[in-house]
Structure 1
Amino acid sequence: MMKTMKHTGKRFILSSFFFIVFLCILASINELRFDSLLEFSKCALSYAPSNSSFGNNLVVKPSSDEIRVLIGILTLPDQYHRRHFLRLIYGTQSPAGVKVDVKFVFCNLTKEDQKVLVALEIMRYDDIMILNCKENMNKGKTYTYFSSLPEMFSTSDGPYPPYHYVLKGDDDAYVRLESLVESLRPLPREDLYYGYVIPCPSMDPFVHYMSGMGYLVSWDIVEWIRDSDIPKNRLEGPEDKIFGDWIREGHRGKNRYNAKWSMYNYPDPPTRCTHELRPDTVSVHLLKTQEKWIKTLQYFNVTQNLKPSKLYHIP
């Protein structure tokens, strides 16, 4: 009887021991599976597409070859409604792999209401540049814009150049950022002069100059404008033509790009500088009315990425 009880006790102890070992092994396996699953989940989240619900929160480190573009839109201090409208236009464009900053550029403020309202805009949007000049169209505003940029943006701890390209634009032009960036990718980043060649029938960028609807230069030309006496001694006159004269007299812009016909004037009324809207457009100029803006935006289907929501219904 006693022997039977001893054998039974030994079997119980052995069974209990092996059962405990089994539980430990099972727990280890489950822990391993959980850790593996956790690591897989982290990996999956890290490489989630940027248009996913959680991917938008990821910070993507820009590559070393990221293109940096500054777009300065020359306008007037009192054009509040135009600036708010253009913020919608440019704020809903997000080309990948590029840094594009859009700034509104005008001369010194002259009214008390401007000092309050423009200051509020700067506090809210931080997208305004106030130049040290008296407001003008063809008496040096363009020179002040370009020549002021190196001091404004060059820093010892930032990238050099702060921008590879600088564009001067008008507030009646619609620049499609993705198309602009794609046209810039294969181009040189030095000694570049880019735009719509004048006169309208011309296709040779070395004969005359780029239209004021919007032209772009590389950063080294911006620094040259600041340092050279050629622009300083010739400030007055049609700004786009005068700018072209600087480039020619200074033997700059050896790399030139004629963006015609991806840049053009709005087709109504038709002239030698216009044609119908087209898909590969970089810029449409002379959008002087709300109707022209709406027709242009409809053509390019700018609201196609509007997300469905219970909060609104837009047929």
Structure 2
Amino acid sequence: MKLNLTDQRQKARLKTVSSVVLFTIIIAILCFQFSLLNNATPNNLNQLEDDDGNKIIFIGIFSTADRFYRRNLIRSTYLNLEAPKVMYKFVLGKPATNKQQLLLKFEQEKFNDLFILDIEENMDNGKTFNYFKTLYNAYHPHQFKFVMKADDDTFLHFPNLEKKFLSLPEYDVYFGRKVEHINGNGGGFIAGMGYALSWNLVEFIATKVENNPKQEIIGQEDFLVTTWLNNGKIYYKMISEVNEFYDSPESKKGWSKNYSPGTMLIHQLKDNEWFLNAC
């Protein structure tokens, strides 16, 4: 049966309306995603407000935008160990793509544990310096007793770390595991797998290093921390933990040893199975 002219017009009108509705929905979705991308700036992602004065130890776990699986593995394991004096954040550089930016936006809304630096992602091109500087500017005048930097291929036993930190002096402490200079002339530096500084040393790095032409912020990050303090003629006490900061037993190299009850940090856990064994 042939459609009359009225039926044909109604059919055409319905087809047009359907197309307009579909087009409107698509535009709305795109606009929504675009608004999320515009709002997913580093400053918005950080959400730095914190009113809990009991948090006197800040631990920044260095990660990158694409390592969502490792962050979730950490959230599901050692972050469940209770340490009431400890605050932690995952420290990342700026996302490299719009997709990463959007995913970080959703991740932050879900977990609120990302600390996004306003720099390109890197390891030895200033990320550590910008971590200390951004942290100081974000939380000052609140003073943590210690600020720690750790890698995301480490297991951190928060309760044991908390107990250790609370036993240390409040000022001038540079804590971790010491690497001796190869030439054996003394000095050395604390290995980058994990180290902590008293707040007064963080303040020095954040406020003095960048303005001193003799100081470099690009280079091997763990070695640079010692260099900043030495060049600034800042007094500090280097405290080395040789028993409870160690490498994974599975790695069988470096500072590898068997697990111990007082463990504070285990390094070389890039393999997920090794990481879970440590946990």
* TM-score w.r.t. length of structure 1: 0.66
Offset, 1:76: 0.6
Task: Report the equivalent of 1:197.
Answer: 178
User: Which residue matches 1:213?
Assistant: 193
Measured against aligned partners, the alpha-carbon deviations of 1:80-124 in whole angstroms (never above 9, x if no partner) come to: 1111111122431112xx421110111112211112110011111
Q: By how many angstroms is 1:212 displaced? A: 0.5
Deviation at 1:187, TM superposition (A): 0.8
Answer yes or no: is 1:292 the counterpart of 2:274: yes
Instruction: Provide the residue aligned with 1:142 in structure 2.
Output: 128
Match of 2:76 in 1: 88
Q: Quick one: distance in 2 between partners of 1:112 and 1:272?
A: 39
- The aligned amino acid for 2:157 is R
The alignment of Structure 1 onto Structure 2 pairs a total of residues equal to 225
- Residues 1:280 and 2:262 are matched in the alignment: yes
The residue aligned with 1:109 is 95
Matched, 1:222 2:208: no
Structure-1 separation of matches of 2:198 and 2:139: 14
Instruction: Please say if residues 70 and 166 of structure 1, whose CA atoms lie closer than 8 Å, have aligned partners that are also in contact.
Output: yes
Task: Supply the distance in 1 between the matched residues of 2:259 and 2:66 (Cα, whole angstroms).
Answer: 30
Contact 1:169 1:214 (8 Å CA) reproduced: yes
SS in 2 for 1:215: strand
Tell me how far apart the structure 2 counterparts of residues 90 and 102 of structure 1 sit (CA, whole Å).
12
Deviation at 1:230, TM superposition (A): 6.2
Contact 2:251–2:268 (Cα < 8 Å) also in 1: no
Q: Which amino acid aligns with 2:255?
A: C
Q: Which residue of 2 is the match for residue 100 of structure 1? A: 86
Q: What is the match of residue 47 of structure 2?
A: none
Residue of structure 1 aligned with 2:62, choices 74, 79, 92: 74
- Partner SS, residue 119 of structure 2: coil
- Local SS of the residue matching 1:172: coil
Question: How far 1:135 sits from its partner (Å)?
Answer: 1.2
Q: CA 1:288–1:231 in structure 2 vs 1: closer, same or farther (change >3 Å)?
A: farther
1:190, 1:143 → 2: CA distance? 20
Does structure 2 conserve the Cα–Cα contact (< 8 Å) formed by 1:143 and 1:231? no
Take 2:269 and 2:209, find their aligned partners in 1: how far apart are those partners?
35
Report the counterpart of residue 127 of structure 1 in structure 2: 113
CA distance in 1, matches of 2:181, 2:158: 23
Q: Conserved in 2, the CA contact under 8 Å of 1:75 and 1:171?
A: yes
Write out per-residue CA displacement over residues 194-217 of structure 1, whole angstroms, 9 at most, x where no aligned residue.
00110399xx9x721000110000
CA apart distance, 1:133:
0.8
Aligned partner of residue 132 in structure 1, secondary structure: strand
Letter in 2 for 1:106: L
Contact 2:173 2:238 survives alignment (8 Å): yes
| Larger Rg, first or second structure (1 or 2) | 1
Match of 1:171 in 2: 152
Mark the runs of 5 or more structure 2 residues left unpaired by the alignment.
Answer: 1-51
Q: Say yes or no: does 1:260 pair with 2:245.
A: no
Unaligned ranges ≥5, structure 1: 1-61, 298-315
- Kept in 2: contact 1:103–1:127 (CA 8 A): yes
1:61-82 Cα shifts (integer Å, max 9, x gaps): x9x9x56111101111111111
Tell me if the contact between 2:181 and 2:188 (Cα under 8 Å) persists in the aligned partners. no
Find the aligned partners of 1:125 and 1:151 in 2 and give their Cα distance. Answer: 23
For residue 228 of structure 1, give the secondary structure of its aligned residue in structure 2.
helix
- Cα deviation per residue 1:113-160 (whole Å; 9 max; x = unaligned)? 1121100111111111111111111111110101111221125xxxx3
CA distance in 2, matches of 1:105, 1:291: 23
Letter of the 2:191 counterpart = S
Q: Percent identity?
A: 27
The one-letter amino acid paired with 1:108 is K
The one-character-per-residue Cα deviations of 1:29-62 (angstroms, maximum 9, x if unpaired) are xxxxxxxxxxxxxxxxxxxxxxxxxxxxxxxxx9
